[in-house]
Amino acid sequence: MDHLPEIQTPQSILDTYYVHTYTVFMNITLSIDEQIVKRARERLQAVGRSVNEEIRDHLQHVAGVNDKDAERWIEELRSLSGKGDSHGWRFNRDEIYERR
């Protein structure tokens, strides 16, 4: 009886034992007046920071990377949405404009 070759499945071909994850940072180019950068660099050096650190921290703040409280607040609003009782009151645009 002839021996058939072993069929290799994707699981037997792919070695996942040595897997590494790398964080890749993005380089960006900014167009900022030279004097502004110079003044910012001087002020930031006085407090032990770099322009790069300041811009990175600002972008993280804008993106909400470290804003767990805001995420919890949004989730709370979502969970409460539609559970209120207006006691029959309905929004009326004309009535709102009359109050102005």
Q: Which domain holds residue 66?
A: 31-81
Q: Which residues, 6 or more positions from 50, have their beta carbon under 8 angstroms from its beta carbon?
A: 41, 44
Three-state SS across 39-79? HHHHHHHHCCCCHHHHHHHHHHHHHCCCCHHHHHHHHHHHH
- How many independent structural domains does the chain possess? 1
- State the pLDDT at residue 21: 65
Question: Does 100 fall in a domain?
Answer: no
- State the pLDDT at residue 8: 57
**d(C-alpha 78, C-alpha 21), whole Å:** 34
- State the pLDDT at residue 76: 82
Question: Does 75 fall in a domain?
Answer: yes
- State the pLDDT at residue 52: 92
Question: Does 87 fall in a domain?
Answer: no
pLDDT per residue of the chain (100 residues) written in tens, 0 to 9: 556 666 655 555 555 566 666 677 888 888 999 999 999 999 999 999 999 999 988 888 777 766 777 778 778 888 887 777 777 777 788 877 887 6
Question: Does 18 fall in a domain?
Answer: no
Nearest by Cα to 55 from 70, 66, 41? 41
Question: Does 96 fall in a domain?
Answer: no
